[in-house]
Amino acid sequence: MTQHFIVIGNPIAHSKSPQIHQVFADQIGLDIRYQRQYCPNDAASFTAVVEAFFGGGGIGANVTVPFKQVAYDLCQERGALSEHASVAGAVNTLLVKDGVLYGDNTDGQGLVNHIVSLGWPLKNARVALIGAGGAARGVVLPLIQAGIGALTIANRTLSKADTLVAELSAASNEINQHSITTCATADLTGDFDLIINATSIGLTDATLPLADNLQAQHAYDMMYGRPLPFLQHFKERGAQASDGYGMLIGQAALSFKRWTGQAIDVTQATQALQQANLTTNK
């Protein structure tokens, strides 16, 4: 029997999620139909789409811009949330669990899994995270659970970084007990094992105000699909670097596992997708 899945967004025509999940399904021999679902940008329309999809026997839905917060609110009101979704305040994966709508967030764990696959050390690592928006919010708990050491969160506006830490600490005892410092991006200095860009500046030709004495052994940018000045900056200083394409595949594989119970060989899937040149953002 064909299993049905969707990705809900606005815009959505550009999404490569159907191709990505088809590669996953082919790998394990599962018959699926995965479609893009455009939705008007309001909570009532999103709720109607979700109700119609799962009411009609749908198995799982991905949620992308601009509905991750809306999906979180819906699950908080009517269903249940995973720990990662609850802390992130956002949902990218929907399914029905124990008879109710269940929201998860696989973005942060997808990032961690990709970093691990690269062979970059996370245990006790000194990590700098640039950005204080939704992307940063979703990765703090998975990074801490991966065993990192000290974490510094930097943002152009320092108060936003402070607010993020306060909100995350209130939402998670694990985060509250961890050592987290904040600073303005331009004031971020020192030597880190890993530095992560969680801002969207890579989508423009602008650059981050990085200090001359900021060093890192490994640099990761969550963006992908185009040259990224952030990564070039650290490559020139001897760092190993990676864009976020592997994070995209990793979070999708985790969604797929939530829905089907089947683990995906992400390395194999990534190779197949790279050969198909699927490098457009989800």
In the chain the domains, ranked by start, together with CATH numbers, are 3-105+246-275 (3.40.50.10860), 109-243 (3.40.50.720)
User: Over 70: is that where the pLDDT of 121 sits?
Assistant: yes
Does the pLDDT at position 281 exceed 60? no
pLDDT of residue 88: 95
160 is catalytic: no
Percent above pLDDT 70 for the chain: 98
pLDDT over 60 (residue 131): yes
Query: Which entry of 16, 68, 97, 123 is annotated as an active-site residue?
Result: 68
Cβ atoms < 10 Å from Cβ of 276:
12
| CB distance 265 to 66 below 8 Å | no
Residue 38 — very low, low, confident or very high, per pLDDT cuts 50/70/90? Answer: very high
pLDDT at 7 over 80: yes
What is the pLDDT at residue 279?
46
Of the chain, the percentage scoring pLDDT greater than 90 comes to 91
> If pLDDT is split at 50, 70 and 90, which confidence band does 202 have?
confident
Q: Predicted confidence band at 205 (pLDDT cuts at 50, 70, 90)? A: confident
State the pLDDT at residue 280: 43
pLDDT at 225: 84
Region 191-206: mean pLDDT is 92
**How many Cα atoms occupy the beta-carbon half-sphere of 246 within 13 Å?**
19
d(CA 69, CA 220): 25
